Structure 1
């Protein structure tokens, strides 16, 4: 317990978290009553999204389900990392093995973490060096992001491999206008600190956005208290450091063409424990580099809009563990992993008429793997080329239909095809929008699954893709001049040919099948300009079809509630609650499937613009100080309050 926390407990006693909530609400919520009621509402989504159809699309023409978290919202809610943002998205389960920087997996609508594609500025950031090809999202900071879009459902028709559960797309802000910049810093009561800054603008044909961010967390022990020494032996913290540099540089080649260079570099260091004991020498170092050069054009009176991109990524991980008293192995564990990717794409948007849009393109993706661990070496490469097309048309103004198909050619297993169809219909008289879609998707075997060496669960070059098919249907209803908006979406995803390691546990094989179904509900209430309320609930039932066992780390019930009050000019007060229950995981000792206890998280934020270019802010995480574990065996962070300042010019 920190000295500050000890002092607060001495003043408030054991009921400190409850006192904090009561004080927070009693001070700020009554202020809302002093503000004159206004009827203008704040929109929950922007007018267009770019990920659902791989081109800018009006939100009311999108046939799938998409959630958009804007950069402004992330800034106001003080969400510093991608896992913090995704944790509150319906249909998404975030599993983080401890505090900041700890291994983080994201499950979308029952799909595995490796079955949801993650992009940043159009670049595929999935890690070719991990066992399943998934990306650890723990290291992605939100500083200077324009938005994060989360599309749920099978999306391989537009994006190829891994888009079975959906697509997560992070987009960097473009530079525009006169030179401007800003910086912020914050300090937590457990001495966790986050800082960042940016410089953006434009000069003639050139525009730029350059940012830097850093996070340092002294950390808390991630070893569950269940495994702490009975004699009160020492349990140390697990510190984490993150330095992120990013830029977006644009050059106008004329009135109808632009060249953009995206760069992002992430350098981290994390001290981590073994799952059942404290290990003071175990450290992971990572370096991640993402580069993309992109050409955008608009020709033939804006009827043809080509996009050409080429990208390169290099992800390196180094795990180092010297012998210690807690880990008495006489050998130094020294593991190195390197995954590289070369990506190219040529996309064409055709505006046939005001009602009809066509999309056609080619994607090229080549990945490399090299790993050296425990005297075992693994290496390999694979190439995948995809050809896709989609048509979207509006019939009678209120009915939008979409249909697309794709063929991918893989260097190892050959050819796979996918398709998707969707429809959305707006009943203007009642402001009701219906939507439905059906699609197929696939995930190519990861390089480690193809070429991984070892005595158990070794790679298999004869593996075939994992497949999925899924559908969704739902509606959204606006009421009271859209001061109230509600929606329900029902979904079903079937997964087949899943890669697992069956007895005698020597080689990976395509043997498993699974199913996930459920529904997502949201209600947004914005009766006044100064008040927003948002409720969401997700029910997910995911299970192995062959064994009947539940799929782990997919909570069945996730309930969320968010409120934001702007009691007077320049002041924001927000509170969020999330309850997670009815979930399953593997016991870290026996391996049996267990049902961890439910947990409830409460956070609160305050922002005060003291002058045009200076803002003071504060927030509190895990206000109820819940002791809980997301993945079984890993202790989640305790209560922490943050205080900071932000300045702009």
Structure 2
């Protein structure tokens, strides 16, 4: 999907300390005064953040040559994805969460499709173009962001011009499976006005989405094509020294051939299923910051809308199954910095609507409104110690209110290996996830009596930042109840019901090591124990790999040339819908050569050893493939 900017890859999660946010693929650090947007409604320096947070900078993203953001996310500790195939439906899990328990934002604007089974953001088509940085916040965040944030928050912050002038950039790539990809951006600033406009496109011709290893005999021969294209941009204007406004948005269109499970044996085989999708987002924002930097306020009005069409043997044969969803939102936030204390207050209004026509369920149109208020306090009682507490109340027009809370602590140990190089942190809080409109009102399967899912969880860890070594280590746990699942009423009659429980716990480890000049080692690893219980039964595996990780070694033999060897690996995984994926390790080689300050050539070989593997049971991953491209800027 086209987003407001570009994400071109990363390799692992690293800590956030006062020296800045060192991203996965290197030790490029932000300034000590950088503000973390996502971790708190109160502007905090990285050293003051008590949550597990990864910041990936734009420079670090380009090195891994990743066209789709989901491939960058799989290299972050604590984050797992279900498919690395371009355009394939992907679920993003943070610490074992479901995809609908992860909140996505772009420049602080909430994304989410109300026409899906449960309101969530599908990042299948999110291609990379001009991202300034990505902030991945792990753990319960509902006290700050309401529903959808049980697992965590992914906030994409797009590039903005900070110096007068105009900058042009373009990129083109081609390779295996008839892959063609490209894009161009114009970004500029003139006095109080800044702007950006980006156009991108991508297509490939296969291979089959159903894996020949598990598909029925003679199946998995159809080549499943995928394409997408879109536009995105933003424009900002500083009205005064204290007041600024901006407008931003994107539009995109995509088409995917995919293989369905036509005989209900939980194994995809060749079908003629096709999905078409259009989506857009628009937002207008106003920001106020007093001259003494103590009082700040912001207001946002936004809309996110999708239109999905499905064609296949289980869909309407004439016009396809139609799913339309719209999320409208208005948010106001006010904060004040009192020195050793800071406070923030805010509220939001949100309306979700869907209009659906399907072969199985017929037609229905529904909407739901949510009002919310929140408050947060940050205290700095002594030097190097930061405490935060937050609470929120959401009032839903269909099933009443639910409240959430969160507390964090961060302490930077002075004098160990240099200033602010070791931080201990911990957090604990509750989360909530509202049922989706489909779950509530679908004529065949809906249950209007559903309530919000609730959870409680926390983490404890340490962040380390030295000149040649950075690390982040966390232990985490979460418990969710009132999860929504299918209840079998007999006679092929199913209804959504609330009886499931889930519990997740594990350890995240990530580090970056530069043993000598010109060599860099990046490592991420996640141990995850994720289980669920249906209708009061025993806890069983929820369908997440217990072990996953990524290792990358980058060598710069001469300044213009960069070489990287990367391995991604996962343990076996028992899919919750049947089938078991085998453990695997996939090796990639990447190279980039900077011709001059304006031109860079790059290429990569993916799955160098031609390893057969599946991230989701029955779904085909790419064989050995080669790609090459060029980046130009002026």
TM-score over 0.5 for the pair: yes
TM normalised by structure 2 equals 0.89
Residue matched to 1:519 = 507
Residue matched to 1:261 = 247
Query: Is 576-585 or 403-412 further displaced after alignment?
Result: 576-585
DSSP 3-state at the match of 1:611: coil
DSSP 3-state at the match of 2:390: strand
Q: For residues 565-604 of structure 1, what are the structure 2 equivalents within 5 Å?
A: 565-586=555-576, 591-592=577-578, 594-604=579-589
Q: CA deviation at 1:527?
A: 3.6
Residue matched to 2:425 = 435
Which of 349, 353, 368 is equivalent to 1:368? 353
In 2, distance between residues paired with 1:254 and 1:567? Answer: 49
Q: For residues 525-564 of structure 1, what are the structure 2 equivalents within 5 Å?
A: 525-545=513-533, 546-564=536-554
In 2, distance between residues paired with 1:103 and 1:463? Answer: 26
Residue matched to 1:182 = 169
Q: CA deviation at 1:486?
A: 2.6
Q: CA deviation at 1:126?
A: 1.3
Q: CA deviation at 1:362?
A: 0.7
Which of 488, 496, 510 is equivalent to 2:481? 496
In 2, distance between residues paired with 1:345 and 1:411? Answer: 18
In 2, distance between residues paired with 1:320 and 1:521? Answer: 43
Residue by residue, what CA displacement relative to the aligned partner does 1:488-543 show, whole Å, maximum 9, x if unpaired?
21001000111112221532121111100001112221244532211121101011
Q: CA deviation at 1:43?
A: 3.3
DSSP 3-state at the match of 2:70: helix
Q: CA deviation at 1:331?
A: 4.6
Q: CA deviation at 1:153?
A: 0.3
Query: Is 362-371 or 329-338 further displaced after alignment?
Result: 329-338
TM normalised by structure 1 equals 0.87
Residue matched to 1:484 = 469
In 1, distance between residues paired with 2:436 and 2:570? Answer: 31
Residue matched to 1:77 = 64
Give the structure with the larger helix fraction: 1
Q: CA deviation at 1:169?
A: 0.9
DSSP 3-state at the match of 1:129: coil
Which of 602, 606, 615 is equivalent to 1:630? 615
In 1, distance between residues paired with 2:309 and 2:428? Answer: 41
Residue by residue, what CA displacement relative to the aligned partner does 1:77-96 show, whole Å, maximum 9, x if unpaired?
11111111111111111012
Confirm or deny that 1:172 pairs with 2:164. Answer: no
Gaps of 5+ in 1: 1-40
In 1, distance between residues paired with 2:513 and 2:30? Answer: 14
Which of 152, 156, 163 is equivalent to 2:149? 163
Structure with greater Cα Rg: 1
In 2, distance between residues paired with 1:120 and 1:204? Answer: 25
Residue matched to 2:20 = none
Which of 281, 284, 290 is equivalent to 1:293? 284
What is the alpha-carbon root mean square deviation over aligned residues? 2.0
Q: CA deviation at 1:124?
A: 1.6
**How has the CA–CA distance of structure 1 residues 605 and 615 changed in structure 2, closer, same or farther, with 3 Å as cutoff?**
same
Residue matched to 1:335 = 321
Say whether the 8 Å CA contact 2:112–2:327 is kept in structure 1: no
DSSP 3-state at the match of 1:508: strand
Residue matched to 2:21 = none
In 2, distance between residues paired with 1:228 and 1:62? Answer: 48
Say whether the 8 Å CA contact 2:311–2:317 is kept in structure 1: no
Q: For residues 464-483 of structure 1, what are the structure 2 equivalents within 5 Å?
A: 464-478=451-465, 481-483=466-468
Residue matched to 2:273 = 282
Query: Is 112-121 or 539-548 further displaced after alignment?
Result: 539-548
Gaps of 5+ in 2: 1-25, 262-266
Aligned residues: 591
In 1, distance between residues paired with 2:430 and 2:552? Answer: 34
Residue by residue, what CA displacement relative to the aligned partner does 1:544-590 show, whole Å, maximum 9, x if unpaired?
1443343433111012212222222222222221110042204xxxx
Confirm or deny that 1:463 pairs with 2:454. Answer: no
Query: Is 161-170 or 118-127 further displaced after alignment?
Result: 118-127
